[in-house]
Amino acid sequence: MLCNLHIENIAIIENASVDFVNGLNVLSGETGAGKSIIIDAINAVLGEKTSRELIRTGSNTAFVSALFSDVSSEVNELLTSLSIPVESDGTVLVQRKLYRDGKNLCHVNGMTVTVSTLKRIGLLLINIHGQRDSQDLLNPELHFSFVDNFGSLDNEVATYHNSFESWTHSVSMLRKVESEEADKERMIDLLQYQIRELEAADIKIGEREQLTEKKKLIRNLDKLNKALNAAYTALDSACESTSSASKYIIAASSVSPAVGVLDNSLQEALSILEDCREETRDVLSQLDGADDDLDSIEERLDLLYRFSKKYGKTEEDMLAFLDSCKSQMDALENASQAIAYWRNKSEEDRNVLQQAGLILSEKRQAAALILQKRIEDELHFLDMPSAVFSVHFTPSQPTVNGFETIEFYISANPGEEEKPLAKVASGGELSRVMLAIKNALADKDSVGTLIFDEIDTGVSGRAADKISLKLKQAASIRQVLCITHLSQIASRADSHFLVEKSVRDDKTYTAVVPLDFNGRVHELARMNGGVSLTQVQFDAAKQLLTDAGIEP
């Protein structure tokens, strides 16, 4: 259950800390006092999407923490699987800090977690039921979930979904290969042409770069020839001069032997110069007639350019395209085998799907019979004594939800035929139907805390009193938090909190105040009364508390 909720800088709540009890907890207050902000804060700490607008004006951060005790084994198993510490006293502390720049900092039992992980854990801690949940009843596509949840059909639904996914995949593949077969001849002609063209081109990786360099060289051939000829002449002259110098050194060494060692260096230099001269001459010889290749180079580069537009930007891309064409040719040649394979596979998958769908439908119908009777009983108690509730099944082609559509029907009054819930239910009736469904499903999950956000919308009088009894009943097996405007519900609370707003120094503040007996009397009188309260209203409020077993 939720033991403590601490809020800092959420909307008009600057700082609030609320200790809840195990049982029925009620929050009430004037419209606009900030009751919905409590729900926003709880949603935030459970990992739901938030807006930076939630942060109080003038603050850069907001913070919410929630302490839970006596959590279910499912919660502890999830924490263990996520390597989050499990406290020995069975408590779980979840925290979230919001920053105005959009960042979040989340912790569970002191360990930093992502928002998505926080949400996974939050789903096992609290269920929040508000006016939006009642609106979900108006969408028949969501009625599957109520029946499946009541019937505990998770395994059957998962089996069906897996079968449906396999079947749709095989059907999709069959259509694909059949489509390819229809275009087979045209595709083969095109692929054969592309393969012949690419193979004939004999493309080599890197050749375009090499040809471009060679083209550049040829276009500067005259300049290159002049430079290389001048270099050759200078090298030849240098060789002759070095050779002459060697002769003079040798002659000098006959007079001074020490000078002779210089000839070794001259011979090394002469050898290098002669090598350079020969290499220069070889390059010059290679350049002879090089300009004759320019036309063929231009043609090859033009071909590569055209191919880059058709088959890929680089030589690697072109060769990869060639490999792809060959693979497609192989696939087309084996298309008849593929068609046979996927046709058989789709038939097999359809048979598996048929079996899974029949099992799911049978169990759904069995669960629906019990569910509709239980909901009817709940509605009769909730001051709809003539209500008839039923679950209608309409066979359909296989969809992701099964072999049928499911829709809730209701007749709220004697003599009226059953009609789709979405078309006939009023706001008050929707609230009671939702509460009836939640009560019917109460033993189907292990979430320790239920929150009802104005579940009393559109009801009053005796119906409100009946709703209060049902909420009290629900609170006997798990913790219930309820935001309400009805004194009948508030009077049965085990703990009652007043959400009140005040203005100080031109700033708005909301506080959450636990009420003692006298405080509850005053709040119940306010909920029943008008602008000015009378003793009669105070006496009526005391009587409500007394009737609920609440004493000073």
Nearest C-alpha neighbor of 374 from the set 360, 391, 362: 391
DSSP labels for 38-91? Answer: HHHHHHHHTT----GGGBPTT-SEEEEEEEE-S--HHHHHHHHHTTPPPPTT--
In the predicted model, what is the mean pLDDT of residues 74-80?
A: 92
Band of pLDDT at residue 384, cut at 50, 70 and 90? confident
Please write down the long-range contacts of 18-21, taking CB distance under 8 Å and 24 or more positions apart: 18/497, 18/512, 18/514, 19/514, 20/479, 20/481, 20/495, 21/479, 21/494, 21/495
DSSP 366: H
CB 391 within 8 A of CB 371: yes
Nearest C-alpha neighbor of 45 from the set 84, 6, 85: 6
Band of pLDDT at residue 16, cut at 50, 70 and 90? very high
- Using CA atoms, how far residue 451 sits from 133, 173, 432, 447, 478, in Å, is 12, 47, 15, 11, 11
CB 366 within 8 A of CB 156: no
Angle at 262 between CA 256 and CA 265, to 5 degrees: 165
In the predicted model, what is the mean pLDDT of residues 144-167?
A: 93
CB 138 within 8 A of CB 422: yes
DSSP 439: H
Q: What is the pLDDT of residue 130?
A: 62
Residue with the larger pLDDT of the pair 41 and 186: 41
DSSP labels for 315-345? Answer: HHHHHHHHHHHHHHHHHHHTHHHHHHHHHHH
In the predicted model, what is the mean pLDDT of residues 87-108?
A: 93
DSSP 364: H
Residue ranges of domains in the chain, CATH in brackets: 1-138+446-515 (3.40.50.300), 185-333 (no CATH), 516-552 (no CATH)
In the predicted model, what is the mean pLDDT of residues 458-480?
A: 83
Q: What is the pLDDT of residue 222?
A: 63
pLDDT value at 481 more than 90: yes
CB 532 within 8 A of CB 522: no
What are 273-289's pLDDT values in tens digits? 888 988 888 777 766 65
Token output for 102: 């959009």
SS3 state of residue 107: strand
Band of pLDDT at residue 59, cut at 50, 70 and 90? very high
Give the containing element (helix H, strand E) for 386: none
This prediction has a pTM of 0.63
Average pLDDT of the chain? 86
pLDDT value at 460 more than 80: no
Nearest C-alpha neighbor of 67 from the set 15, 19, 26: 19
